[in-house]
Amino acid sequence: MTASFTVLVVDDDFHVADLHRRQVDEVAGFRALDPVGTLAAARSVLSSTVVDLVLVDVYLPDGSGLDLLRSVDTDAFVLSAASDSDTVRRAMRRGALAYLLKPFPSTLLAERLRSYARSRNVLDERATLDQEAVERAFRILHSGDAAGASPSRAATAALVLEQLSVDAERSAAEVAAGIGVSRATAQRYLAQLTADGTATMQLRYGAAGRPEHRYTRR
């Protein structure tokens, strides 16, 4: 993906906030701002800086992080130890795109961020959407574009994506050799990434006249 998504972490625990900031920066296509620890500080940043996604805790010194969801027009994930159903439902009603219960593995946050990026790619691809595109964007956001997708499938998709470059085309055979899977497996994941807008495919004709699918990261 060529787009760089800017993320603001809102958490009053300095160590946790810095951990999440580093986890965000480790995901390709994402850039984390310096974390803030209060609602007031978050609103100040959001009023002066373009932010794509906020990662906000529920318990903050000057109020509930859920109030931030209600007062700003920015995509948001809730990252919190609050596990009661009322809080989760309120977060959903106020527009949280994901709810991660602390503590959670870094791989879970990375997976949610990648799904967010892929969903955004679908929505940003054109100004007017049809029903299929809308449903695909929601499906990708909540399940990685595959109902019940297993962690191993998500990991393989991430490895395939990491093999792609914005500047250099690669074939399915080259991707397969790079991560140690069969060409058919690589081709299947490349087709999924192309369908959701994360990758692009071009046909290239060789000397024998047979076309080859060549892939780049969008």
Q: Which domains does the chain have, with CATH numbers?
A: 5-105 (3.40.50.2300), 112-217 (1.10.10.10)
Which of 106, 88, 107, 84 is closest to 98 using CA atoms? 88
- Cα 210 to Cα 60, 107, 213, 215: the distances in Å are 60, 40, 10, 16
pLDDT at 3: 60
Instruction: Find tokens 């497996």 and name the residue.
Output: 185
pLDDT at 127: 81
Query: Which stretches in the chain have pLDDT values below 50?
Result: 1-2, 145-151
At 218, which amino acid appears? R
pLDDT at 92: 95
pLDDT at 146: 46
Alpha helices in the chain (DSSP H): 14-25, 39-48, 65-71, 85-93, 106-124, 131-143, 151-162, 172-179, 183-195
pLDDT at 192: 82
Tokens of 212: 């080859």
pLDDT at 148: 42
Which of 37, 32, 40 is closest to 15 using CA atoms? 37
Which of 91, 36, 29 is closest to 58 using CA atoms? 91
At 138, which amino acid appears? F
